[in-house]
Every structure is written in structure tokens, then in C-alpha cells.
């Protein structure tokens, strides 16, 4: 009985299943799901392929695919090869190449020659650094440069140095650094990119800034235009061109603006030094021989003149701002010389430490102080500052309404004016603030 009932129940269950869902067998359900999934995958795959084809031209604009023979199909025609090579140059590279093509013809090498004793003939290394022979000993035990030297020794003209410069007018006006053409007894030769040589005349040397202006006898020369150095930003791309190491003319280096308004003291191998203020810092490689060459923005305009590099460091170079140079060029072209204003004080900028140590009521200004030597006067006798009544320990707070601080130093504010200009100074003198009038003179 129990077995019969079980068979009946199994038959009933089988009938119920067949009547309710004749297509719900698990094996058939899997087949139907698989077919549905394949159908959906095919639809979405086709749609995705269409969208990918539509998006491909846009994606290619943002991809850099190097062009190599190994990766190029043999069936690629010449037109496709040209297009591929052109597309492999990034937009920034194209801009740099265009800048170099535009600027290089106006960049020159400046060669310094001078009569020197034949005994001092230089031994040049492959990189243009001169090594000089040690003083030769004579038969009496003295050296040729000492008391027993022969003052009638023959001389010959030798190249004693090289630098860079760039043309700023079609009639041959050239900008370089003052330290490149500092010697009054040397001769200067300008060599253009096409190998032509010109004797150069020094029109003017700036007594305050490391800038000099040369002139060659030529016409219809390519020249560079100045940009606005007040508008440059840290991080923007720059290009430097110059006669690196005095051996590799028109060497190009690329970098960015690393900093602005730097102040430093630059020295030379000859032992001289010069304070440079409000200058541009760049990581574009600047080497010996680059002095006087242009620092260019990406449009090919001059935003600086390369002047110095940091020794013992990597990729730290400095350039004088173009806006300082433009004024000098305009002045030389209109008057034939460079005239600079002169005040006549020695000072240090106030710092929180100086303010605290001296219990001063102000946190800005320039404290007038004498130097270490007896001749290092705080106020130069007979100078405009002396005539206006400025004294040691006075603090110059403002010039022409501009507060004196690290961004607005006295030397820069005075340099922006001409000899004969009259300025109002706000000065802290013996515990009180007063206003004085100063008439600037010409620096000799």
C-alpha cells in the first residue's frame, strides 16, 4: 500500500509539472539563457564597435605613437608615412622647434682677442677652456714675469675668451653681457650663424647692470624682438640659445622659469663681482660661453639675457629681465650712451631680526649703514643723498610712495629714473618720520 501510494504521488507530481511549465527544464533554461546572453553581447558589441570607430580620431590626438620601421606595415604608402612622422612630433616640441628656427639666425658668438706675450700661448682643451703655460724660468733663476723678465718679449693676438649675444636691430645693434666685453684694450669679433665675421664696436656698457651694447657694420640682419618680462610666470617653458663653452655655437637648451625676482652676487674668474637684483631663475642649461645669449619664451621673444649660473649645482641659471634691457637699448639708440641715476647710500634691508634687535617700530625699509672699511661710507660725500640730508642709521621707508622691501629695493627704484629726476623720500630719522626731497645725479 505504501509503495502504491508513493507511485501515485510521483505520477501526480509528474503530471503537475508537465501541465504547469512544460518548458522549464533546467537544461533547456540554460540553453535559452545562453542564447539570450549571446544575442545581447552581439548587440552591445556591435554598438561599442561603432562608438569606438567614431571616437578613434579624437583619441589619436592625445596619443603619441613613435614611428619606427619595425612597427610600420610594408603596405603603408608614402603619404601615410609622412603623416605618421608629422603626428609623432608633440605640440610643445613643434613650438620649440619653431622658436629655434626663428631665433637662431639672430644669435651670435662674440670672440674676444688681445695681444699677449707669446710665452703665454694658451693650450686649448677640446671644450675651449684655456690652460696657460706656467712662467718660464730664465738662466738666472728668475721667472719671465718677475724682476728678471724681458719687457720687450714679442706679442701676438690670441683669442682670450668667447661669449654670446643677439641682434636687436636690422642695422647691427647687438646685446651682450658687460663682463663679456669688459676689457677696453681687447678687440671683439661677432660671428653670425652663417659663418660671417664682423668687427664689433662697443657702444656702451651699463655701470649698474651686466649689459653692454655692440654695433657691427651690416644691413638687413635678422633680429629678435623683446617680450614683456613682467608677465612671465613660474613654470612656463623657455629656450636658451648661446655659444656654450665657447666651442658649440647656437647650442639650444629648453627648460622652465624656476623663479622670479632673485637677488645674488655674481663673480667672475677675474675676481670681480656684481650685485644682480630682480633677475630670472631658469633650469634651462646655461654654461660658460652662454653669457649674453637670449632667454626666449615659446613664441620666440626675448624675455631675458643669460648672465650667470650657480656653481656646484645642477640646472640653476639666471637671466636679466628683458624690460630692463629694453630701456637700455632705447637710450643707446637715442643718445648714444647709457646714463643711470645715482643716489649715494649704502644700506641693508630690514629683517624681523634687525627690527627686534633695535626695537624699531617698522617692519620694512632700508637701514643706512657704513661698510667694513673706513672708505665704505654710509652716505657718499657730495652725493644726492648727502645733499638731501640723509645720514647713517636713517631708515628709508618709501620712495615715491613705494614701500622699500625685498620686492622693491632702493637700487631698482632709483634705476627706473633718470639723472635729474626729483623724488620724495619717506625717512625715519632719530625717532620720527619725515619727508625729504632728493634730486638724482648721473652715475659716473
Residue 6 has pLDDT above 70, yes or no: no
| Active-site residue, 109 included | no
pLDDT at 390: 96
Residue 52 has pLDDT above 70, yes or no: no
pLDDT at 155: 76
**How much is the mean pLDDT over the chain?**
76
Q: Count the Cβ atoms, other than its own, within 10 Å of residue 318.
A: 23
Q: Count the Cβ atoms, other than its own, within 10 Å of residue 234.
A: 11
Name the burial class of residue 163, with classes exposed (0-12), middle (13-18) and buried (19+) by CB atoms within 10 angstroms of its CB: buried
Higher pLDDT, 284 or 61: 284
Residue range 266-283: mean pLDDT, rounded:
75
pLDDT at 358: 81
Residue 417 has pLDDT above 70, yes or no: yes
Q: What's the pLDDT band for 415 if we cut at 50, 70, 90? A: confident
Q: What's the pLDDT band for 385 if we cut at 50, 70, 90? A: very high
Cell numbers linked to 289: 660661453
Q: How far apart are CA 117 and CA 152, in angstroms?
A: 9
Residue range 429-436: mean pLDDT, rounded:
93
- pLDDT, tens digit, for every residue of 180-235? 999 889 999 999 999 999 999 999 998 888 999 999 999 999 999 999 999 999 99
Continuous H helices in 269-372: 322-335, 352-357
Catalytic residue among 109, 179, 206, 426: 179
Residue 303 has pLDDT above 50, yes or no: yes
Q: Is 279 helix (H, G, I), strand (E, B) or coil?
A: strand
3-state secondary structure 372-402: CCCCCCCECCCCHHHHCCCCCCCEEEEECCE
Distance from the first to the final alpha carbon of the chain: 135
Catalytic residue among 206, 210, 297, 412: 210
Q: How far apart are CA 304 and CA 292, in angstroms?
A: 9
Residue 3 has pLDDT above 50, yes or no: no
Catalytic residue among 109, 229, 253, 291: 291
Instruction: Tell me phi and psi for residue 378, to 5 degrees.
Output: -70, -45
Residue range 29-42: mean pLDDT, rounded:
49
Q: What's the pLDDT band for 379 if we cut at 50, 70, 90? A: very high
Nearest by Cα to 323 from 209, 240, 179: 209
Q: Is 312 helix (H, G, I), strand (E, B) or coil?
A: coil
Residue 236: C-alpha distances to residues 160, 242, 258, 282, 287 (Å): 36, 20, 9, 10, 21
Continuous H helices in 267-346: 322-335
Q: How far apart are CA 115 and CA 109, in angstroms?
A: 20
Q: How far apart are CA 65 and CA 72, in angstroms?
A: 11
Q: How far apart are CA 326 and CA 229, in angstroms?
A: 10
Q: How far apart are CA 220 and CA 243, in angstroms?
A: 23
Q: How far apart are CA 136 and CA 138, in angstroms?
A: 7
pTM of the predicted structure, to 2 decimals: 0.66
Q: What's the pLDDT band for 174 if we cut at 50, 70, 90? A: very high
Residue 294: C-alpha distances to residues 18, 95, 248, 255, 405 (Å): 93, 17, 15, 13, 29
Cell numbers linked to 91: 605640440
Q: What's the pLDDT band for 18 if we cut at 50, 70, 90? A: very low
pLDDT-wise least confident of 3-17, 266-280, 345-359, 414-428: 3-17
Q: How far apart are CA 393 and CA 155, in angstroms?
A: 53
Residue 116 has pLDDT above 80, yes or no: no
pLDDT at 365: 94
| Active-site residue, 179 included | yes
| Active-site residue, 21 included | no
Of all helices (H) and strands (E), which one includes residue 442? strand 441-442
pLDDT above 70: percentage of residues in the chain? 70
Residue 119 has pLDDT above 50, yes or no: yes
Q: How far apart are CA 443 and CA 343, in angstroms?
A: 8
- pLDDT, tens digit, for every residue of 53-110? 444 333 233 222 233 333 333 433 444 444 444 455 577 688 899 999 999 999 999 9
Highest-pLDDT range among 258-267, 335-344, 392-401 = 392-401
Residue 257: C-alpha distances to residues 165, 197, 316, 357 (Å): 21, 33, 10, 37
Residue 8: C-alpha distances to residues 21, 44, 181 (Å): 20, 50, 120
Q: What's the pLDDT band for 266 if we cut at 50, 70, 90? A: confident
- pLDDT, tens digit, for every residue of 330-341? 999 888 888 889
Domain 229-335: CATH architecture, name and number where available: Beta Barrel (2.40)
CATH level 3 topology of 341-442: Pdz3 Domain (2.30.42)
Residue with grid cell 635729474, as numbered in its chain = 420
Residue 272: C-alpha distances to residues 214, 269, 318, 359, 372 (Å): 22, 8, 18, 37, 18
Nearest by Cα to 201 from 172, 221, 222, 179: 172
17 torsion bin: left (phi>0), alpha (psi -120 to 50), beta (else): alpha
Residue 246 has pLDDT above 50, yes or no: yes
Cell numbers linked to 424: 620724495
Q: Are 214 and 169 in contact (CB under 8 A)?
A: no
Rg (CA), the chain: 38
Amino acid at each position: 500500500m505504501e509503495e502504491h501510494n508513493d507511485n501515485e504521488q510521483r505520477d501526480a507530481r509528474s503530471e503537475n509539472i508537465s501541465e504547469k511549465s512544460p518548458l522549464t527544464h533546467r537544461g533547456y533554461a540554460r540553453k535559452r539563457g545562453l542564447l539570450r546572453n549571446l544575442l545581447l553581447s552581439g548587440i552591445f558589441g556591435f554598438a561599442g564597435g561603432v562608438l569606438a570607430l567614431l571616437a578613434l580620431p579624437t583619441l589619436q590626438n592625445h596619443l603619441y605613437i613613435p614611428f619606427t620601421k619595425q612597427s610600420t606595415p610594408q603596405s603603408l604608402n608614402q603619404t601615410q608615412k609622412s603623416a605618421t612622422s608629422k603626428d609623432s612630433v608633440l605640440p610643445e616640441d613643434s613650438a620649440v622647434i619653431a622658436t629655434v628656427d626663428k631665433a637662431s639666425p639672430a644669435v651670435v658668438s662674440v670672440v674676444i682677442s688681445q695681444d699677449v706675450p707669446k710665452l703665454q700661448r694658451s693650450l686649448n682643451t677640446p671644450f675651449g677652456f684655456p690652460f696657460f703655460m706656467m712662467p718660464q724660468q730664465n738662466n738666472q733663476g728668475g721667472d719671465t714675469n718677475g724682476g728678471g723678465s724681458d719687457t720687450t718679449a714679442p706679442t701676438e693676438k690670441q683669442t682670450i675668451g668667447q661669449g654670446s649675444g643677439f641682434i636687436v636691430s636690422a642695422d647691427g645693434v647687438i646685446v651682450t653681457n658687460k663682463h663679456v666685453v669688459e676689457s677696453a684694450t681687447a678687440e671683439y669679433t661677432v660671428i653670425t650663424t652663417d659663418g660671417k665675421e664682423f668687427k664689433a664696436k662697443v657702444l656702451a656698457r651699463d655701470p649698474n647692470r651686466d649689459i653692454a651694447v655692440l654695433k657691427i657694420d651690416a644691413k638687413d640682419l635678422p633680429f629678435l624682438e623683446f617680450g614683456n618680462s613682467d608677465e612671465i610666470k613660474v613654470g612656463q617653458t623657455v629656450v636658451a640659445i648661446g655659444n656654450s663653452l665657447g666651442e658649440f655655437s647656437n647650442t639650444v637648451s629648453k627648460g622652465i622659469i624656476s623663479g622670479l625676482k632673485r637677488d645674488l652676487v655674481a663673480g667672475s674668474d677675474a675676481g670681480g663681482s656684481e650685485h644682480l637684483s630682480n633677475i630670472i631663475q631658469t633650469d634651462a642649461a646655461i654654461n660658460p660661453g652662454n653669457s649674453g645669449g637670449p632667454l626666449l619664451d615659446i613664441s620666440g621673444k626675448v624675455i631675458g639675457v643669460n648672465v650667470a649660473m650657480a656653481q656646484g649645482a645642477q640646472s640653476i641659471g639666471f637671466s636679466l629681465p628683458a624690460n630692463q634691457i629694453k630701456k637700455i637699448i632705447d637710450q643707446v639708440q637715442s643718445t648714444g650712451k647709457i646714463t643711470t641715476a645715482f643716489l649715494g647710500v649704502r644700506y641693508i634691508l630690514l629683517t624681523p631680526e634687525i627690527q627686534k634687535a633695535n626695537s624699531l617700530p617698522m617692519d620694512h625699509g632700508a637701514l643706512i649703514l657704513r661698510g667694513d672699511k673706513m672708505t665704505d661710507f654710509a652716505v657718499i660725500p657730495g652725493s644726492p643723498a648727502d645733499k638731501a640730508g640723509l645720514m647713517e642709521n636713517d631708515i628709508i621707508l618709501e620712495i615715491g610712495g613705494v614701500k622699500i622691501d625685498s620686492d622693491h629695493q632702493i637700487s631698482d627704484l632709483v634705476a627706473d629714473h633718470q639723472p635729474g629726476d626729483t623724488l620724495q623720500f619717506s625717512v625715519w630719522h632719530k625717532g620720527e618720520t619725515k619727508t625729504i626731497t632728493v634730486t638724482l645725479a648721473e652715475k659716473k
